[in-house]
Amino acid sequence: MTKVSMKVNGKPVSGEVEGRTLLVSFLRDTLGLTGTHVGCDTSQCGACVVHVDGQAVKSCTMFAAEAEGCEVTTIEGMANADGSLSTIQQAFQDHHGLQCGFCTPGMVMSAAALLAGTPKPTEAEIRHYLEGNICRCTGYHNIVKAILAASGQDVSDIGGNAIAAE
């Protein structure tokens, strides 16, 4: 067993882990932060995306011990200090960028990373960035619309729920 210490959502945490313990398992099973989902266990779906030192990471591909000393942000840490939804979370709600909600935490975390590096992305840039995130319900149209809205861009001329082709 190895002791790991890190900051998760701004709070210091530590725990004992086996060397093979994945970050997603440490977050969910040890810390009880179940908003980070396990979808495929093969890094294909993006449901487990978290931020590690400000970078989007699929937490099913990283050992917990590799996060030693790091700053980790999960979907639970995305809300504003007063508990209200962040701009990105609110945009997903306002523009119905979710249906079943399983992929939503990973999508929000990926969107936040995209917007941190590209504050005003184009639709094509958003679609390209989300290639590592799978959503089986929405057809991505409203997810893209939500991210455009979160970036402060006008989405009033973007249609309803039609599935947009790439």
What is the reported pLDDT for 159?
66
Locate 105 and state its tokens.
């935490």
Query: For the segment 99-149, what is each residue's pLDDT rounded down to a tens digit?
Result: 999 999 999 999 999 999 999 999 999 999 999 999 988 889 999 999 999
Contact 95, 145 (CB under 8 A): yes
* pLDDT at position 160 over 80: no
Q: Return phi, psi of residue 8, to 5°.
A: -120, 120
Locate 92 and state its tokens.
């997903």
What is the reported pLDDT for 162?
47
pTM over 0.85: yes
What is the reported pLDDT for 166?
42
Query: For the segment 73-98, what is each residue's pLDDT rounded down to a tens digit?
Result: 999 999 999 999 999 999 999 999 99
Query: For the segment 26-39, what is each residue's pLDDT rounded down to a tens digit?
Result: 999 999 999 999 99
* pLDDT at position 59 over 80: yes
Is the pLDDT higher at 160 or at 14?
Answer: 14
pLDDT-based confidence at residue 22 (cuts at 50, 70, 90): very high
pLDDT-based confidence at residue 164 (cuts at 50, 70, 90): very low
pLDDT-based confidence at residue 41 (cuts at 50, 70, 90): confident
- For 12-37, b/e burial (b = at least 16 CB within 10 A) is ebebebeeebbbbbbbbebbebebbb
